[in-house]
Structure 1
């Protein structure tokens, strides 16, 4: 009787089969094909491939796992039957136990190998997919490793994994291309100062890229406006300080010229001329009042010119100037006469 038909070494697609185990015992073993069964087990175990590579080979390997589990259960059932038929079959039971353990170890090894080979192939396919991404190489695994792993979740066959990865790569590359166009257009308009992270930015979602570029531009505009206003305020303060200094200088009373000296000699006896007379100086308050009137008269003209302004920037400049002059005038009134 043919125990087992062993396929050629290259015929990996043929399902392996272990012959059924038949046992009949009554106090002793009356009949058994245990030797033939064990020979069949050994032949099959020697023929099992532990390194499947294709979907078909993985399917066959998983069928072999089921076949080995069935053979394992058959041995256990035969042992239990023999135990009921006879109690003095120690050697027979030992052979059954050994055969059962051989089958179990083979099944566990095959299961572990299947899982390991599947994981190895999945990782290689993910690495190949990452290599096809059109972004900076150092960002591929960091930013897209999780995306690729998620895309093949619950995929069982190599073909389905490859198809899922192809779709994920195509979508990622399309988004990267779209983002790159958006970023290039932004750089053409505003320069590259606001795009210091172009490589990483182009890997984000298109909605995020558009919103982030708008946000950066708004922040830059606000910063430039603050700088402009601060510069205008600084110039206004400097102008106010100059105006204050000029007003203080103009507020000092004039120093009358010293009278010319007359040299008298014994040979030149000329009458001494009386010193030149000056009008009586005004009082401090009268003098200050006249100056204030001149200042108010000058600023009345500036008020008319201010009302004719139409550009907001110019109005802002004049507002800063008016604020600075008002502060200088207050300081002039409060402290100018004492300094």
Structure 2
């Protein structure tokens, strides 16, 4: 595969930072190539992305990539990456992360801070480049590498919009209390991305495609929520309370360290209205959270986690360091 897509991603990364914090992109490149091949396969077979990313049998790399991007929002940010995140994530993130930096990290942070404007511009260029590749009609994309790049770009644009919707929804329990879930978020994001990628006006130089797609998706989210409110008027209060309970439980699980969050979500699947997986299958599907854990270790974490959730929140196995979601989430309402 032509490395231009990977190069575009690399160009958006900062050049500063310590040697230890530099990212080895070779594994990422291999993963993206496999994901791109499956995204193109789905496109050629007339299967839309929102279906393909949930098809573990037909598109295993695509489905795994989709799950891991979601889980990445809840991974504690490693110390080596905290200065980089602080430099690009805004003033509030800087205040949370910068005070914990030692002298060496502070020096790296200062250097990255000088690059902040350039980083923002490179990220903006990345968004625009991905959109233009995704916007290309499949019949006009050419053969081989060009089609792979177009399919991968479409996927990355979809995932970018979907992740921002997830942060919005996870910032409160409102949407989930109405019965909305992550699958619904996927469908909302894909519907807007699919429509706007095909919109000729989006290629205007004055238009920033990703912000427009995110805004459109948020409007669609509000409309979907309003429709759910009306639908819930027809069900019993017990059913509405069940949805509210599940929303509160999911929100609580998202505050935990990722391994405990994934394990307890599975252990409490019955309460959440979902099917419980065997731990071996769960570990395979959620490798980012559970890789390297023995069956005994997972059982112990579930047992300790169940006991902890009966205690006040300060006793929960919560994150010790902030995750990206913690830095991006909206502040809770004071109403």
TM-score bracket relative to the smaller structure:
under 0.3
Q: TM-score, normalised by structure 2?
A: 0.22
Q: TM-score, normalised by structure 1?
A: 0.21
Radius of gyration: which is bigger?
A: 1
